[in-house]
Amino acid sequence: MVAEKTLMTAKGYLCLICSRSRTDLTGIKQHLQDSHMDTGVRYRCPICRNIYKTKNSFQNHISLKHREELRGMDQTKCIVYE
């Protein structure tokens, strides 16, 4: 799936959907998931109740906004299907 939506270049990987580039395969996979795929799974923050469409964006939110409050929490309890 990633191969059809990316192009390997001398500097890394190019997204063929929006022309964004990433230096490594992990970065381009994360970009594709965050920007161009919707699995239907949502993650709700148990503190502020914000909803995120990817696990990565949810984890970034937790790390930036609620790190101390939610240290060691079970993130599977934060999954919301919508």
pLDDT in tens, 20-77: 999 999 999 989 988 888 888 899 998 899 999 888 888 899 889 988 877 777 766 6
Residues 47 and 28 in one domain: no
Instruction: Looking at the structure, tell me whether residues 56 and 75 fall in a common domain.
Output: yes
Same domain, 31 and 48: no
Whether residues 24 and 48 share a domain: the answer is no
Is the predicted pLDDT of residue 15 greater than 80, yes or no?
yes
- Residue-range definition of the domain harbouring residue 74: 41-81
- What is the predicted pLDDT for the residue at 70? 74
Quick one: 55 and 76 in the same domain?
yes
Give pTM, 2 decimals.
0.65
In this structure, are residues 55 and 43 in contact, taking their beta carbons and an 8 Å threshold?
yes
The total number of structural domains that make up the chain: 2
45 with 69, same domain: the answer is: yes
Q: What is d(CA 26, CA 34) in angstroms, rounded to the nearest whole number?
A: 12
Confidence of residue 18 (pLDDT cuts 50, 70, 90): very high
